[in-house]
Chains A and B, each alone.
Chain A
């Protein structure tokens, strides 16, 4: 089935450390892929998206993600995590042919230690 999977339910990192959140996809063709963040007390926000072309995508808040076809992955990265990055992160891909209909992963909760 076409879907995305986030293998890690919870990740803890120290402030200033680097971060990588995993997302694996199962689509036949190159999919459109997205990362969203849900911060405490705030609505879900689009961090970045990959449609085609350059496999390294830059997003807001200093995040980036790399599309790797060979590994069927679209991992989210940040070189140096800030305490304000503590949130839940969702990877998403299309469900069917319309982008409005997205399949979201179960999310990865990020805790940042001071």
Chain B
């Protein structure tokens, strides 16, 4: 597609449920990034995929969070046993050069935990 696509755009779920967020990067972009933005705060790094290298998971806040990427394509971010503090906008980004900064962001998934 023309840009980074994320789905769903909005997700409301009950505390304790698992959720899965999807990101379709721009075709040909080797690097993919997940960030989250909690209300009133800046973006918080979660995880970074670059080609076939091991992902940089240093930003994942707990072991309830995991992410996968199929080759240089779709990525899914999974949050298990959701908590209210997980409520945020989850942003995915991709870039072509891989070794650089996130270039193009999606519109995000707004996650609300009741």
Q: Does B associate with A? A: yes
B43 touches A101 (CB 8 A): no
Closest to B48 in A: A100
- Contacts A44-B93, A100-B31, A100-B33 given; indicate if A95 touches B105 (C-beta within 8 A): no
- Contacts A44-B91, A46-B101, A49-B101 given; indicate if A101 touches B42 (C-beta within 8 A): no
Interface centre among A44, A100, A102, by most chain B C-beta atoms within 10 angstroms, is A100
Q: Which of A12-20, A65-73, A104-112 contacts B (4 or more CB under 8 A)?
A: A104-112
A16 to chain B, nearest CB (A): 29
Chain A residues near B108: list those with CB within 8 A.
43
A26 to B100, CA, bound (A): 20
Chain A residues near B99: list those with CB within 8 A.
99
Chain A residues near B48: list those with CB within 8 A.
98, 100-101
A100 touches B102 (CB 8 A): yes
A42 contacts partner chain B, Cβ-Cβ < 8 Å: yes
B59 contacts partner chain A, Cβ-Cβ < 8 Å: yes
Chain B residues within CB distance 8 Å of chain A: 3-4, 31, 33, 35, 40-45, 48, 50, 56, 58-59, 91, 93, 99-108
